[in-house]
Structure 1
Amino acid sequence: MKALQNLSEEDTKKRYIEPALEKSGWDFRQIRLEYGIEARDYEFSDGEMTKSGIRKAKKKADYALFYNNTCLAVIEAKAYNYNDSEGLEQAKDYAKALQVPFAFASSGKGFVKFSWNKDFIGSSGTEPLPINAFPSPQELYQAYKKWESLESDYLLTTKFDNSDIKHPLRYYQRIAVTKTLIAAQKGQMRILLVLATGTGKTLIAYQIAHRLFNQTLPNGKKIQKILYLADRNELINADTQGKFKSFRNDMYKIRNHNFSQEHYKLYFGIYQQFISGSEKNKDKVEHYKNLKPDFFDLIFIDECHRGSARADSTWREILEYFSPALQIGMTATPKFHKEQRKSQEIGELEARSEEDNIDYFGEPVYQYSLKQGIEDGYLAPFSVIEMLSNYAKDGYEPQDGEKDLEGKEIKTPERKTEEAKRFEGKIAPYEMNRYCGDTTYYIKRQIHYVAEQTSFFLTDTLKNPYAKTIVFCNDQTHADFMKLALIDCNPEPINRNANYIARITSNDEVGKRLLDSFKSAENVCPIIVTTSDLLSTGVDTQMVQIIAIDKFVNDKSLFKQMIGRGTRLNKALEARGKTQFYILDFNGTARKFLTDPDFDGAIEFIGKDEIKPPKPREKKPPKSRTIIKHTLEGEAEIHTHTHTVSLWREVDGKMTLITDKIEVFCGTRLKDKNRLNDYLLALRDTEDLGENKARTEFLNQLEENGIFIHELKALEQFQNCDEFDILLSLAKGGPALSRTQRAKKANRFLAELEPKARELMEFLLQQYEKNGFNELKFSNFTNEPIATKYTRAKVKSILDSSGGFKTLLAALKNELYKEVG
C-alpha cells in the first residue's frame, strides 16, 4: 500500500484509470478526435498572450471523451495518494468551457462524476463510481442526448472535413457547429451564432455546410442548394470562397443580378444583387424573385447585426421570401443599444432597431466572446490610451465674428435641452468633424492633434513606424482631412513610399485598390489608413496593431467591430512581432463602452471618471435646407486633459479596466509590506534565472496580481531599471536605481575574488547593466571577448576554483539585493 501512495499521476493513469476506461469500451489504442489529436492530454486553448509577449500555459484536460464526433465528457486525473475528487473542480471548469454535461475526476481508486444542468449554473449532483463502473461510450452518449433533449441524432453522426491537418478546428468552432446541428435536429429553422470578430465564423459556416449537405432536415427538406449572403463584396472574396473546399468545383458568385445559373450547389451573393433601385425612386427591381421561394435550402447570413433582421430592410425581405430555407445568422454583436448610429456614408449602412437580430433569429445557440478569445490566446490582448484634447472635452468656442476657411461666419447650434446647455456658444465635442443637424464643423486643429499623437505613438512610443494603423473618422471628408494631416506629420516615410498613408473609404477608388495590400501581413504599405465605415467590419486586417478613434460612436455593436480589426493573433503574426494591439482614444469612446457591464461581462472601473459629453440628438435635415460645412483652423492652443494608459486586464481573477496612471495603480498594490517583501525575495531567489523560464513565470504571476511589469518598464522613469528597483520605487517612493547603480553594490564582492574569477563575474555584470537580469547566465561566457580568451572548460575551471558558478551567482545576488534578507 505504501508503494501505491508513491505512484505518480502518469503511473496512476496507466495502471488504473486507462484500463478502467478500456474495460468500459473506450479504446485508447485507436480512439482519436476526428482531426487527429489524441484524446489524451486534450489541449483546447493556445494559452493567453501576456503583455510581455509570453503565452501562459494552455488549457489541457487529461482526457476528453468523444463519441459520434461529439465531445461528451472530460476526466481529470491525480496521483494515487490524492482523493478521487481532487481534480473535480478543474474538470467542471473544463466541461463548462467545452459545453459538455459530464465531468469526472479520479486518482485511480474510483471515479467521481459531476453532471451540469443545461445552463451550466446548477447541477444534478455528484456521485462516486467504483473504478470498474465507468459508463460505456453508448451509455454516456445516451445520457448526452437526454441532456440535449434529442430524440433523433442522425445530423450529429455526420463528419467534419478534416483535410486541413495543419489547422485543426478549435474547440469553440467544434462547439458552434455541434450546437447548430443540434438546433437543426430539433427542427429550429432560424439559428443565431455569436462569435467575436477574428474567431473564424466563415470556417464554422463551411463545416456546417459540409456536414448538412445532402442531409434531410426533420421537416423533410433536403439540403442541396446553399446561399452565403453578405452585404459587402469584401465578405465574399476569394479567401472566403476558398474555405468552402468540398464545394470548390460547384460554387457560383452572383453578379449582374443574374439568377439564371440554377445548377450550382453553393452560391455567394450580396443583397444589392438581389434588389436594385428603391420604392422611393419607383425603380425597385426584385431580382431574387426569378427564383422560387424554396430554391435555397440553407442560407448563411454573414455579419447579420448590420440590419439583416430589420422588418423593413431589404435583407429581411430576402430572408422572408426564402423562408423555407434553414437560415443561420452569424455575428459578433447580438443586440443593439436603444440609441443607434446613423449612416455617415449614405446608402452604405442602415439605421437599426434594438435587439433586432435576436427578435428574428431567436437567442443564440452558442456565444464565444472577445474576453474568452483573449483568455484562450486566440485573440490579441489590448491596451487603451486615452488622449482627450481640450476640444474633445470642452468643445470649440468660436470668437465673435469668426469665419471659417471659406469665409462663412460661424454660428453655433441652438441649445434646447439642459444637458446640451453646457455647450452654449460652442461647437460640442460630439458635433465636431461630423454631420450634425444641418451643419458639419471640421475642426482642423483637432484633426492635426490626432494625426500628431498617432504618428508620435508609432515612432516614439512603439518605436515602430511600420505598425499598421487604422484611424477611424466620422465621414469621408473627415477621413480625407485626417489623411492630409498625417502626411504633414510623416514627411520622411511619405518620401520613401507615397502609399505609406492612404484613405480607404467607399468613394475613394484609389484607396480601395490598396485594401488588399493593407490587409496583407507581407506587404509593407500602406501603414496608416484613414476610414469612416468601410474598414469597421468584415475586413481581415491581421497585422493591425493600432486602432485610433476620432469617430463619434454611440453603438456598442459598431465599437466591437472597430476594435475587432486589431484582435487577430496567430503564430505567423507573432513571428512578425504582433502580440497585442493598442486603442488610441481621442474622444472617450473606449471608456464609454469598456465600462459598460454588458460589454463581455462585468468590468470594474478604477480611476477618476472623466466628464462625458451629452449624447447627441441626431436627426435628418429637412430636404429644403442646405447642408452647411464649416472648416475651421482653430487658433486656440490645444492641450491634453487626459493622457492615461488604460488597460483591460485580469486582476485577481477579475477583468478590470485600469485608467489611473499605471505606476499609481501598481503602487497601491505594493503597500502591503509583507507582499512587497515576498515579491522582492522571489525576484532575488528564483532558481534558474539565467535560463529565463522560472523568472518569466514569476513575472507573469506579478501581472496576474496587478503589477504590470511590462508596461512599467516602458515608462521613461524606469528605463534601464531592474524589476527589483521598479517595485521598490513604486512601494517606497523616490527614483528607481538604474542597473548601473545597482551593479555597483557588488564592488566589495568582486574585490574579494581571485583576478580571473573577478574578470569573469565583472563581464557578467556588464551584460546585466546592458540588458538586465536575464544576462546572468553561464552561457554568456561563450560571447566575446571572453570566448577568445578562455574555452568553456577553462571558464568552468576558473569559477570552480572560487566555489563554482552557482555559488558565485548566489553570492552575487545577495550583494546586489541586500535590501531583503
Structure 2
Amino acid sequence: MTKHISESDTRANFIDPKLVDSQWEPVHIVREYYFTDGRKLLGNKRGKRLFLDYLLKYNNTNLAIIEAKKLSDHPTKGLQQVLDYAKKLKIKFVYATNGDQIYEFNRQTGRGDYVDNFPTPQDLYNRLFGKKNALKEKLHKIPFLLTGNFGPRYYQEIAVNKVMESIADGEDRILLTLATGTGKTFISFQIVHKLLTAKWNLDGNGRRPRVLFLADRNVLADQAINTFNPYEKDVIKIDGEEVRKRNGVVPTNAYIFFAIYQAIAEREDIGGFYKEYPSDFFDLIVIDECHRGSANEAGSWREILDHFKPAIHLGLTATPKRDDNVDTYKYFGKPIYEYSLKEGIQDGFLTPYKVKRVTTNIDEYIHTNDSKILQGEITKDRYEIDDFNKSITVKQRIELVAQTILKQIGKMDKTIVFCANQDHALDLRDYINKYKTVTDINYCVRITSDEGKHGRELLEAFQDNDKDIPVILTSSKMLTTGVDARNVRNIVLTAPIGSMVEFKQIIGRGTRVFDGKDFFTIIDFVGATNLFYDEDWDGEPVDPTGKGGRPKTRPPRKVNEPGEPYERKEKLIISLSNGRKLKVTDIDTRYIDENGKPLTAREFLEKLIGELPSIYKNEEHLRKIWSNPDTRGDLLKQLGDLGFDNEQLNDLRNMIATQECDIFDVLSHISFNSNLITRKQRVKFVKDEPEFFEVYKNLEARDFLEFILKHYEDYGIEELQRDKLGDLVKLKLGTPKDAKTAFGDMKTLLGAYYKLQENIYRAG
C-alpha cells in the first residue's frame, strides 16, 4: 500500500504533522524554497534553479533543511545532493526523511544518525548559537527592511547574519568579500538597519549607534546614500560644503554619516575633519571597496581607522586575497563570508561573458626615419604595447582602435572603454566621434575626474536604463569600481591593467544582470584578458596568516589610485609615414567560463543554451541542406521545433559573429569550428566567378541575379526563400511576362534562383 503514496502525500500526511508536533509553525517553514535564479541562458532564458523541499527558519535565521522522499523510499535517498545545498547556504543541520524515519546530519561534525523527532525551533537555535547570547538573538529577530516586492538573495541574508553574529561575539575587525554586482550596499543597509533598530552600541546604554560609511569616490558615496533613503532624516554627508554651512563645525546630529576619505583626511592646507570627532564617536565604520584605500600603515584610510580605533571596522571588497591587497586581509583578518564571481554566474545573479582579443600590425613600434616625431624624443629601440599612450602616442593607432570598437559593438550597446589616462580617453572619444554614425553629440563622452559636475550628470544618464544616450564612455581609473550600470554590453580594454584586483573590478562593470542581456563582451586590445588564465583569477583565497597558498612571482604594476592627479608628462608623439597601412590582423574570440577557463564556441553555447541538436552530420551535409531553399526551410522548421526559433538564431548570430554574417556560418562555426565569413564576402565570391552569369545571355537576367545578391547581402537569407521570388521579380523585372522574356521561361528562372544559392554557399 505504501508504494502508492506519493511524495506530496507523504509530506502532507506524515512529515508536516511531525513538524507541528515539534512546534514548527507555518511562519517557520518555507516549502519549495528556490534560492538561485538559474544561470543566464540565451534568448532571455534561464537554467535550472536550485530549491529545497523544506527550509526551517527561526528568528529570521536559516536553521535546517529537510529533504523529503515518499514513504516507500529509503529516508536518506536524496541526502548527498542536499548536503551540497546546505554547504552553499551555510546551514549546519540537514534532515532526510520518508515520513516514517528521520535522519539528522550535522555538517560541522560530519556525522549523522536517526532521531525520533525533529527538534523544536528554540532547541535547534540554541544548539547553533548557545543559550546565553541574548544580543545575537535580538539582532537575528529584527527582519530586513524591504521596499518593493522582492526579498533578499540567499547570500545577502548569510552575509548580514554573519556580521550580526560577529558583532555579538565581540569581533571588531570584520571583512566581507562579495563579487562586484552582488549588492554590497544593500547588505550594508540591512546591517545598519538592524543595529539602529536594536539600539545596539559599543557603550551598551540603549542609544542608537553612530555609523560612518567611508568610500573613496563621491559617486560611490552618493549611490550608497540613495540606498539608505528610508533613513534619509538620519543621514548626513561630511564634506567641506557641509562644514562651511555649519561655520566650520563638523556635523554630529545624525546616526548615519557618509564621507569620502579624501574629504575628511588631512591635506597640506587643512587639518583632517575626522580629527574633530572624538575617537569613540562612531560605533561602526563601514569601509566600501576597502582594498582600494589600502589598510597598510601608510595607506589612505589607515590614519582615519587608527583615529577611530574603538569602533568596529567592517570592510567590504570584491576581491579575494591577492599579493596586491594582502594588507587589507592582514588588517581585517579572514573574511567571515565570501561570494565569488563564479558562484554569481552559476546562480544566475551575474551575467556570463566572452572575450574578443584584437591584435593589430602596430602593437609594437620600432622607429624608422619614415615616421615623423611631432613631440619628444626616441628613448628606446622598441616600444611595446605597455608603452602606448603612456610614454609614446601613435595617433593613427588610436584612430584604428576607435574604428574597430565601432565595428565590434552594436550601434546602441552601452559600452565602457578603459584608457591609459585622461588624455588617452580624450583622444579615443574624439576619434570615435569622427567615425560614429549616430549624430547625437553625447553618443560618446569622456567620464573622468576632470569632467566635474557635467561628467557626473552624463554618467547618471548612462546608468539610467530608460535612456539611450550616452552609449559609449571613455575613462581611465574613475569607473573601475562601484559604478552601477546594469545594461553595459561591452567592456573595452585599451590599456594594460595594473593588477588582478583592478582587473576583477573592471570585469565587474559588465556582470550586472539586465533583462534581455544574456552575456556581455570584453574587447581587449592589449592582452589584459590573459589575466583570466592566471591562477589568481577566481581561485580560493590563501590563508591571511600567510601559511597557505602558493608564492607568486609576478609583482603587481603600480597604478594610480582613484582621485590621484594624472601627471601630464612630456611624451613622445609619432606620426607614421603615409605609406604605412594600419589594420587589425586578428580578432580571436575566446569563450570564457566562470572559472576563467577557455571554451570552444560549442562548449560555451552548451552552457548558455544546452546541447545543439544533431540534425546535420557534417559541414558538407549542412552546406548541402542550406544551399537549397526547400531543404533549408525544413531545417529551420526542425530547429524551431527544438527551441531554436528565428529570434534565438539571431541571438546566436549576435553573440558568435555580427549581423553581417549568415546564420549558416554561425551554425557551421559552432558545430564544426569553421571560419566565419560575411554575406558581403559570399557575394564577392559569386561575382568573382563570371562564368555563372555568362550562361544567361540576356543582360536583364544578369542584372536580376545581381539584384538578388544585393538583397541577400543587405537583408540576409529571408531574401532567398522560395516564396520571395515573386516579390523580387516584381521589384526588379516587373511582371511574370517580363521575367519570362529575360530568362526564356519560368523553369530557367527558377533554376537560376536555386543555382545562385548553391554558388553563394560554395564560398568558405
1:145 to 115, 119, 129: 129
CA shift, 1:308, in A, is 4.2
Contact 2:65 2:86 survives alignment (8 Å): yes
1:82 to 73, 77, 81: 73
**CA deviation map 1:475-505 (0-9, x unaligned):** 0011111111111221x31xx2111011111
Contact 1:227 1:300 survives alignment (8 Å): yes
CA shift, 1:385, in A, is 1.0
- Secondary structure of the 2:122 match is helix
Contact 2:362 2:397 survives alignment (8 Å): yes
Q: Give the aligned residue type for 2:450.
A: N
Report the equivalent of 1:170.
153
Report the equivalent of 1:277.
267
Q: Percent identity?
A: 33
In 2, the alpha carbon distance for the partners of 1:616 and 1:391 equals 26
1:363-762 alignment, distance < 5 Å: 363-392=334-363, 395-400=364-369, 402-406=371-375, 408=376, 410-413=377-380, 425-434=381-390, 440-458=391-409, 464-490=410-436, 492-493=437-438, 496-509=439-452, 510-569=454-513, 573-574=514-515, 577-591=516-530, 593-601=531-539, 627-635=569-577, 636-649=580-593, 655=595, 657-658=597-598, 662=601, 695=643, 719-720=663-664, 729=672
Q: Give the aligned residue type for 2:256.
A: L
Q: TM-score, normalised by structure 2?
A: 0.75
2:34 counterpart of 1:48: no
Structure 1 residues 78, 679: closer, same or farther in 2, change over 3 A?
Answer: farther
- Secondary structure of the 1:499 match is coil
CA shift, 1:331, in A, is 1.1
1:212-231 alignment, distance < 5 Å: 212-213=195-196, 214-216=198-200, 220=204, 223-231=208-216
Q: Give the aligned residue type for 1:550.
A: T
- Secondary structure of the 1:430 match is coil
Report the equivalent of 1:240.
224
Report the equivalent of 2:327.
356
Contact 2:420 2:496 survives alignment (8 Å): yes
Q: Give the aligned residue type for 1:145.
A: F
1:66-81 alignment, distance < 5 Å: 66-81=57-72
Structure 1 residues 538, 107: closer, same or farther in 2, change over 3 A?
Answer: same
CA shift, 1:101, in A, is 0.8
Q: Give the aligned residue type for 1:159.
A: I
CA shift, 1:639, in A, is 4.1
In 1, the alpha carbon distance for the partners of 2:677 and 2:599 equals 23
Q: Give the aligned residue type for 1:303.
A: E
Contact 1:666 1:730 survives alignment (8 Å): no
1:735-814 alignment, distance < 5 Å: none
Q: CA RMSD in A?
A: 4.0
Contact 1:69 1:156 survives alignment (8 Å): no
2:124 counterpart of 1:185: no
Q: Give the aligned residue type for 2:28.
A: I
Instruction: Give 5+ residue unaligned stretches, structure 1.
Output: 33-38, 118-122, 339-353, 414-424, 435-439, 459-463, 604-613, 681-688, 701-707, 739-768, 773-821
2:198 counterpart of 1:197: no
Q: Give the aligned residue type for 1:445.
A: Q
- Structure (1 or 2) with the greater helix fraction: 2
Contact 1:663 1:712 survives alignment (8 Å): no
Report the equivalent of 1:127.
113
In 2, the alpha carbon distance for the partners of 1:734 and 1:529 equals 30
Q: Give the aligned residue type for 2:379.
A: T
Q: Relative contact order (C-alpha < 8 Å, sep 6+): which is higher?
A: 2
2:28 to 17, 28, 31: 31
Contact 2:294 2:301 survives alignment (8 Å): yes
Q: TM-score, normalised by structure 1?
A: 0.70
**CA deviation map 1:775-806 (0-9, x unaligned):** xxxxxxxxxxxxxxxxxxxxxxxxxxxxxxxx
- Secondary structure of the 2:597 match is strand
CA shift, 1:15, in A, is 1.8
Structure 1 residues 656, 315: closer, same or farther in 2, change over 3 A?
Answer: closer
**CA deviation map 1:493-546 (0-9, x unaligned):** 1xx211101111111234343111111111111101100011111211121110
Contact 2:201 2:283 survives alignment (8 Å): no
Structure 1 residues 15, 56: closer, same or farther in 2, change over 3 A?
Answer: same
2:324 counterpart of 1:331: no
- Secondary structure of the 2:25 match is coil
Contact 2:145 2:190 survives alignment (8 Å): no
Q: Give the aligned residue type for 1:596.
A: D
Q: Give the aligned residue type for 1:498.
A: I
Q: Give the aligned residue type for 1:315.
A: W
Instruction: Give 5+ residue unaligned stretches, structure 2.
Output: 244-248, 542-553, 561-566, 620-636, 683-716, 721-764
The 10-residue stretch of structure 1 (263-272 or 158-167) with the greater mean CA deviation from structure 2:
158-167
Q: Give the aligned residue type for 2:386.
A: Y
